[in-house]
A and B are shown apart, each in its own frame.
Chain A
Amino acid sequence: MMLAGTVSAIHATADLLGEAERRLPAVDPGATAFGARGLGLLGAVGQEAYRHWQAALDARVQEARAHAARVRDLADLVRHAAGGFSEAQHSAGQAHRDLAGGESGVA
């Protein structure tokens, strides 16, 4: 895979995680679905179950957010390498041109 393809694939993964961060909160069916609005003992158990679910869902959202940032760091790493290559290529081209100019001067 060439550099552009690598960067593109990395971005696709970062986008997937970014989308997950945005969409996961909508997966929450709400307190009522867990029975957290009930009276007495059943309501108390439903609330406990819902709190457990909510804390877990918050953790999933946070995981997606943090990992999207890590994946974007990977893309930066590739861009850093690509920048170095581009600079090296430019320097090499300049050196070649200087050398070619020097040779013509000697001739």
Chain B
Amino acid sequence: MDALAQLAPVAAPLLEAVDKALLTLGAPPTHPVWRALGQVGASPADVVAFVAELEPARLRSAAAALRAQATAYEQASLPLDAPWEGETARHYHAAAASVHEHLAGDGPSLATRLRAQASYVDSWAEWQQDLRDRLARVLAQAMTSSQAVTLRSQALRPAEVDGLVAAVQAAADIAVALLGVVEDAAAAGRDVIRAAQGLDELPYQPILPTDPLAGTGTIRVD
């Protein structure tokens, strides 16, 4: 259980108070929370609830399965030499070498494509964990902040006008800190996607003898 899994249930009342203040009282007109809300398109409580549900381990399982498949490709024992001699044997050798190279050779292969995709999904798992950790840190700061105290005080004395003004400011401050994590994470997430290149289908480029297949040969009887 990571920090966010522990903090999210405890922070729920504070986040509800933040959302309620934003929804019912708004925020100071020039506060950056307006821009952040527009960018993120979700309230702080919804964001925390959503991120708390993310399970990077599920993505890591997918990466492990892809790597296991890549290993299976690499361990496939495709005979490269034919048990006979002659032109068809040369033709077989060239075809088998091409097929093997494409499957798990030294250059780009089906095995390297699987490993590249495993790296991509691992990067996405890492991105999710990083988002959870950053959100947990900001949430912990918010829970012990003076703004949290202000919001709690206002909830106890809802009729006080001064308290109301301070609560509006406090809710906006907490919201902008949490939503800022999401904005940064979104930019980093798009970088992860952009960096994951070379995942398209690998074209097959056979290297075959140019001479026609004569169909002659000698079987080697061992």
A residues whose Cβ falls under 8 Å from a Cβ of B: 1-3, 5-6, 9-10, 12-13, 16-17, 20, 23-24, 27-29, 33-35, 38-46, 48-49, 52-53, 55-57, 59-60, 62-64, 66-67, 70-71, 73-74, 77-78, 80-82, 84-85
Contact = CB atoms under 8 A, between A and B. Distances in A.
Interface string B168-202: 00000000000000110110011011001001111
A39 B46 contact: yes
A13 B78 contact: yes
A75 B189 CA distance: 45
Contact of A29 (B61, B77, B88, B185): B61
8 contacts: A13-B78, A16-B72, A29-B58, A39-B41, A41-B39, A41-B182, A73-B95, A80-B88
Nearest to B54: A35
A38 B48 CA distance: 11
Q: Which 6 residue pairs spanning A and B have beta carbons closest together?
A: A40-B41, A56-B199, A59-B201, A39-B42, A40-B42, A45-B189
A33 B113 contact: no
A34 B42 contact: no
A53 B120 contact: yes
A34 to B, nearest CB: 7
Contact of B222 (A2, A29, A80): A2
A51 to B, nearest CB: 9
A35 to B, nearest CB: 6
Given A1-B83, A3-B84, A74-B96, 8 more contacts: A5-B79, A6-B83, A16-B76, A24-B69, A41-B40, A46-B189, A62-B201, A81-B92
Nearest to A59: B201
A27 B40 contact: no
Nearest to A27: B65
Interface size class of B (residues with CB under 8 A): 35 or more
Interface of B: 39-42, 46-47, 50-51, 54-55, 58-59, 61-62, 65-66, 69, 72-73, 76-79, 81-84, 88-89, 91-92, 95-96, 99, 102-103, 110, 113-114, 117, 120-121, 124, 128, 182-183, 185-186, 189-190, 192-193, 196, 199-202, 204, 215-217, 219, 222
Contact of B55 (A33, A70, A78): A33
B77 A12 contact: yes
Given A81-B82, A81-B84, A67 B54 contact: no
A104 B77 CA distance: 51
Contacts of A84: 88, 215-217
B196 A10 contact: no
Contacts of A49: 124, 189, 192-193
A73 to B, nearest CB: 8
A85 B61 contact: no
A80 B96 CA distance: 15
B204 A66 contact: yes
A42 B182 contact: yes
A80 B40 CA distance: 64
